[in-house]
Amino acid sequence: MSTRRVKDPVHGYIELDEELVERVVDTRTFQRLRHVRQLSATYLVYPGATHTRFEHSLGVYHLATTVFESLRSQSYFRDGVGEAELDDIQRTLACAALLHDVGHTPLSHVGERHLDAAALRDRLAALGLAERFERVGVAPEGDSGWEHPYPIRTAAPHELLSCVVVLERFAEPLCAMDVDPFEVCAQVLGWSLAYEAGGRWQHGVAAQLLHSPVDVDRLDYIIRDDRMTGADVLGVDTDRMLAAYTAHPDAGLALSEQALSTVGNYLEGRVSLYMWVTQHHKSVYANVLVGRLLDELAAAEDDPLFPVDGVVDGWLTDHTAMERLRRAAADPPTEAFAALYDRFRSRDFAESCWKHRLGYADVIAPETNEGVVAYSEWLVGDADRLEAVLTEALVVPSHEVWIERSYVPEYEPEELADIPLAHNGRVQPLSDHGLYGGREFDRSVPFVYVPAGHVDRAVDVLNDRYVAEVGVGVPTAGR
């Protein structure tokens, strides 16, 4: 079969079967991903962060097929399964890897919250995906009366929409390639219908390549985000790490001890990328700013911001979203929308009361690590009330004061503790090797944004209120 080569700035040449290009990649629906930025509005902080879901999807495909080929070379993985079945698994995995993000809305995760997850679940039920899960024993029974099977009930909205797109736009092309579109959807959600039906364990491993502590989706976007932003905080030997993937019938996908030398760098780099790119104080503001604009627009209009059919049919992109915001700004629905849009267009950002955990701990009331955690919980747990307190004290418009939690769960070091390491015939958590350390400045904190010139007053107001409500004294040092 002939192949097509695509030059990727991260992985070099990526080879795709010509049939896969014709039936999947070169379609209007998939090409839409060229116009959906991977990091939403982070390009306002890192100008190079204009890479898209399109090249990320190609990268995940490349890593998934590379790892699966490596697994196939391991005698243990081939034991008891024929080459034809492995070919079938790999072909399905290749399609799932390409299509795993095909349902992303404009502006990626910033726009995702404007999807109606309940409606998407119902649409998938009508398309038969719920029934397919139930047929293999993954049913709502035992889920305390939940209507949908667990994989559908717990999936992120963009994953649900990806499955809708797969079943409504790619079912026929996939079947023409002898690929079950329902199995592709299951893998997008991190499951395998074939494995749940009693099939060989290698089917489950394929799903884990897209959804697990060591999935290649995460590996690609970490490497890609580091490269394209220019952050340069990741020093990972990608080839060595890819060669270290292994699998076990009971434990599933794991990394061999060969990966130890590079996984430490991977984990450190991942936390650094989280701190200095994804959760850079200006990145958080940029993305929240665009999110607030979308919220204002959604509240003022009856029609959904991101209609599902716009994604399915391939016309809804970042460009259409930005044009909609531009048109709304000509006759702004609210005063807040006009002010926020002007900030967005001129990149006139509000000021953050601190930039990272070290600065945060230096100015807030508590002095101990436990106190810092308690202060954060107080800030985030009562954000609306405290925003109102600041608005009144600073005498500024309410839409100019934000308390935002600096938190992306999948990046948190604690969430990495279950990365499996295969050593001497057994699998153990990588955290047993003490690779995480205890650097407090790597912990996430909330951010407080106020108009320029109000930072010191805002900090004093919050500290005074915290002392009055909680009774913790304000430190004198470091102020």
Regarding whether 51 and 194 lie in a shared domain, the answer is yes
The two beta strands, 402-404 and 351-352, are unpaired
Compute CA distances 377 → 372, 374, 389, 466, whole Å: 9, 5, 17, 11
Looking at the domain assignment, is residue 83 inside a domain?
yes
Q: What is the predicted pLDDT for the residue at 272?
A: 86
Secondary structure class of 216 (helix, strand, coil): helix
- pLDDT confidence tier of residue 431, bands split at 50, 70 and 90: low
Whether the pLDDT of residue 163 is over 50: the answer is: yes
For the whole model, what pTM was predicted? 0.94
Q: Is residue 47 situated within a structural domain?
A: yes
Does 371 map to a domain? Answer: yes
| Domain around 201 | 3-224
Q: Are strands 12-17 and 245-248 parallel, antiparallel or unpaired?
A: unpaired
Q: Is residue 297 part of a domain?
A: no
The Cβ of residue 28 has, within 10 Å, a number of other Cβ atoms equal to: 10
Q: Per-residue confidence at 475, pLDDT binned at 50, 70, 90?
A: very low
Q: How many domains does the chain divide into?
A: 2
Q: Which residues lie below 8 Å from residue 212, measured CB to CB, with a gap of 6+?
A: 190, 252, 253
- Percentage of the chain modeled with pLDDT above 90: 78
pLDDT at 417 over 80: no
In this predicted structure, the answer to whether residue 460 has a pLDDT above a threshold of 80 is yes
Could you count the other beta carbons within 10 Å of the beta carbon of residue 343? 19
CATH number of the domain to which 94 belongs? 1.10.3210.10
- Burial (CB count within 10 angstroms: exposed 0-12, middle 13-18, buried 19+), residue 433: middle
Distance, in Å, from the CA atom of 103 to the CA atom of 99, rounded to the nearest integer, reads 8
Q: What is the pLDDT of residues 72-107, one digit of tens each?
A: 999 999 999 999 999 999 999 999 999 999 999 999
pLDDT tens track for 39-48: 999 999 999 9
Confidence at residue 479, expressed as pLDDT on a 0 to 100 scale: 39
| Average of per-residue pLDDT across 353-364 | 93
Residue 284 lies in a domain: no
| pLDDT for res 160 | 98
113 is a domain residue: yes
Mind giving me the DSSP string for 345-386?
HHT-PPEES-SSHHHHHHHSS--SHHHHHHHHHHHHHTHHHH
Give the separation between CA 40 and CA 59, rounded to whole angstroms.
Answer: 18
271 lies in a domain? no
Task: Using the predicted structure, report yes or no on whether residue 445 has a pLDDT greater than 60.
Answer: yes
Mean pLDDT for all residues in the chain? 91
Asked if pLDDT for residue 147 goes beyond 90, the answer is no
| Boundary (domain end) residue, out of 224, 242, 269 | 224
Q: CA Rg, the chain, in Å?
A: 24
Place of tokens 């190079």: 48
Under the banding of pLDDT at 50, 70 and 90, the label for residue 361 is very high
A 10 A CB-CB count for 199 gives 17
Write down which residue in 224, 241, 268 finishes a domain.
224
Given a contact cutoff of 8 angstroms between Cβ atoms, the answer to whether 315 and 84 are in contact is no
Give the integer Cα–Cα distance in Å for 423 and 416. Answer: 18
**Residues 312-349 pLDDT 10s:** 999 999 999 999 999 999 999 999 999 999 999 999 99
Angstrom distance (rounded) from CA 454 to CA 437: 36
Mark which of 224, 244, 277 sits at the end of a domain: 224
| Cβ neighbours around 284 below 10 Å, total | 23
Could you give the CA distance from residue 69 to residue 63 in angstroms, rounded to a whole number? 10
Does 183 reside within a domain? yes
Distance CA 16, CA 23 (A): 11
Task: Output phi, psi for 144, to 5 deg.
Answer: 60, 40
Residue 38 has pLDDT above 80, yes or no: yes
C-alpha 139/C-alpha 149 separation (Å) is 5
Per-residue pLDDT of 233-277, as tens digits, reads 998 899 999 999 999 898 899 999 888 888 888 888 888 888 889
